Structure formats: structure tokens, C-alpha cells
Amino acid sequence: MPRPPLINAASAMSRRHWLTSAAAGTLGCGILGDSLTALSSPLPRRQLLILFLSGGPSQFETWDPKPGAKTGGPFRAIPTSIPGIKIGELLPHTAKILHRLTVVRSVASNIADHFQGHYALQSGRIAPGYPVLGSAVAKLLEKPDDILPGYISIRRNGPKAYTDVGDAGFLGAKYDGVRVYDNLPPENLIRPTGISPVTARSIDQIRRATDEQFRQRRDSRPIESYEATYQQAAALMGHREIFDLKQEPADLHDRYGRHEFGQHCLLARRLLESGINCVKVTHFDWDAHQDNFYWHQVRCAEFDRTFVTLLDDLEQRGILEHTLVVVTGEMGRTPQINNLGGRDHWGRAWSMAMAGCGVNPGLVYGATNDSGTEVTENPVSHGDLFHTYLQALGIDSHMNYTLDDQTNPVADPDATPISALLA
């Protein structure tokens, strides 16, 4: 990673590249059975925002500091708005609003691999083929009159990342995360100037007829996935203004931060405001195998103020009251500091946080020992978290998907919701 200036401590869009490769997706397996109801009670539409800290942030430098311990590192623990609770000094803005958050200090996923960790944390499973959280929520909170995609993932453009793991699994391509890169509006959302509306309609009629012929003679699942993708792309053509951040005032851009993560979070708020069921924003470069303390100064400085600004903005607009915000990576970092000044991968004891609807604010759940090597109170698995997210969104996590006369539990039946976290 290139070293940016030190900060003091104290579009491409693709649903498998839209139309071209959507037709090749063969994971679609039908629809949910009529017996499955998304909401366990007649609540207003709830939404999900995932802030994914890719690479694995250190719990020691964030949510669960151990100052003075051999494993603790150089940073102080600072008081928060919850009496008696401290977090790392690299999160001073977050410390002031901790009473609005739910912090879990006892995640014991026992996975120390990026790709496996991301899939487990996002699907609640180890076995492959299950939908990740965003895809599951897109399906489970879907309403008949929804037009826009149910799940949009915002990330920087670049090589395939840890966050590109999983997606809709057996739910099919319709519920894959639509990827937005670098806040650029999706390509091909405007009809070429050389094609008239009449010609465009004729082309669409030919496309539909061809699809129907193919559907009658072959496996219809690729066509159904393609058709769903096409319709959502067509819907976005009429909503390009969602991606126009120039509509936001300059001072709000400044508060979010003029950096990549800040502007991605601003777009996320606009997407939630438009009714998208789930938005995921990825903040990269937390994988600090060397210069861990320097890199956490840099990444925390970006995250801290942006995160608080985002929560404030969501609350002022009346969005936070029906939106669950999840802040997590795929793992934590080792208590031991290696000979490069870094922390390596650690899945036995680490932390994450939540805010918004369905969870108890001002709660710090679980604990680790003085050196942070082990969970000592209330261990939490990736499956438990998945159950808890769904329950917080008003979804019965114990129900089943019914697809092609087969049933699959929505969440791991060997895991359970964490009742203490739920409002």
C-alpha cells in the first residue's frame, strides 16, 4: 500500500457486468414459496447498511483497547458517552456517540482467512452456495412493487477483492449485489442518441420474443436471471439522479470527507433514501501485516468522522429509525505484534458494532481477557450475528426458503439470535 500523508493520532456497475454476462448465470433456482413472509410483524420497510472494513481492522486499536498490556500497542483508551466504557483514541468522534451504538467485543468466528471470513460473516455459514446478507435481505424485504435493485454494493474500482465473495448463491442472479465502482453512475443507462424511442421499443419486443422462444426450448433459469437484470437496468435508466452527488451541498461533502470512503457513504445515504433494501460500502486497506499502527491512524481517521456524519445524516432524515447499520470486517488482528510492526489475522476474539433499528443502543456485549487473546464472556459466532441482523430487521431468522420444492433454512439452525442485542 502506498503511504499517504500521516494523520496525527489524538462505472462501471456490474451485476456480472450487467447484460452481457447476466445471461450466463445459472444459479437461479426459482422463487420463494408463498408461505415465506419477509416480516414477522407489520413494520414499515426496514433497510440495511453494511460498512465493511475490508482486510480486518484491529480490535485493539478500535473497539476493545488493551492499554498497558504487552499486546496493547501504543495508543490510549479514551472515555466514551457510555460511563465506564472506553474505546481506542483513534476514534474520538465515535467515542462521543457510543451511546447510540451496540458494540460486540466477543466475536469468535475462529476464521483467519480473508475470503472464508468474508463469506462466513456475510452468509452466516461455512458451507458454500448460500446467499450473503445483502442478497438475503434483498429477497426477504422485497415488495411486489419494487423496481430498483434490492442490493447495491459500493466499492472502489480495482482488482477482485475479499468483498467479491458469495452474493446470491441459490437465490439466483436477480439478488446478486449490483456493484457501483468509484461512485460513477452505471454505464449504458442512457439510450444512445442514434436510437429513437420507437426503434428502442422494437428492439425490446424482438428481445422479449427471442427470450420466450429460448425459454420454451431450454432451461429457463438463465433467461429469468437475464430478464430480471435487464428490467432492473431499465429501471435505473429513469433514476440516474440518485448517483448525482452534485445535488448535495458542498458543506455536506466536506463533513462526509472528500475522500473515497466519505463520498461512497454519501452515495449510500442517497441509495437508502431511494428505497434500496440493502447498501454495502467497503472501506479498504485494513490488512495491516506491517506498520499496523500507522495504517490504523490513517484508516481510523477516515472512518471516524465519516461514520458519525453518516449516522447524523441518516437520523436527521428519518432514515436511521428503520435502518440497521452494521460495521464489521471479516476478522480481527492478532494480539501479538510481529517483527514488521504489524498484526496478523485473528479470528478467536474480535469486535464489531451496530446502530439503528432493532438493536439496543448503549450496550457493550461480551468481553475478552486482559491480553485480548480469548473471549471470556458471551462468545458470538458468525451464524449468531446473521440471525441477529435478520431479527433486527423484523425478519424471522428461523424460517425457510422454499425453492423448487426444496427447503433451506434462512439462517444456520445451529446458531441463534443474540437476544440481549435486540431491542
Query: Residue ranges of the domains in the chain?
Result: 190-237
User: Residue 200 carries which side chain, given as an amino acid letter?
Assistant: A
Average pLDDT value for residue range 404-417 = 94
Structure confidence at residue 216 (pLDDT)? 67
pTM (two decimals): 0.85
Three-state SS at 403? strand
- Answer whether residue 205 shows pLDDT above 60: yes
Please report the pLDDT score of residue 25 as a whole number. Answer: 30
Least confident window among 143-152, 162-171, 250-259, 336-345 = 162-171
| pLDDT at site 209 | 73
pLDDT tens column, 14-45:
333 333 333 223 223 333 433 333 334 445 68
Per-residue pLDDT band for 147 (boundaries 50, 70, 90) equals: confident
- Whole-number Å distance between alpha carbons of 346 and 377: 18
Mean of pLDDT values over 358-363: 98
- Per-residue pLDDT band for 199 (boundaries 50, 70, 90) equals confident
Among 60, 47, 380, 12, smallest CA distance to 182 is for 12
| Lowest-confidence segment of 21-30, 110-119, 238-247, 296-305 by average pLDDT | 21-30
Nearest-angstrom CA–CA distance, 324 and 47 = 6
Question: What is the band of 94 on the pLDDT scale with cuts at 50, 70, 90?
Answer: very high
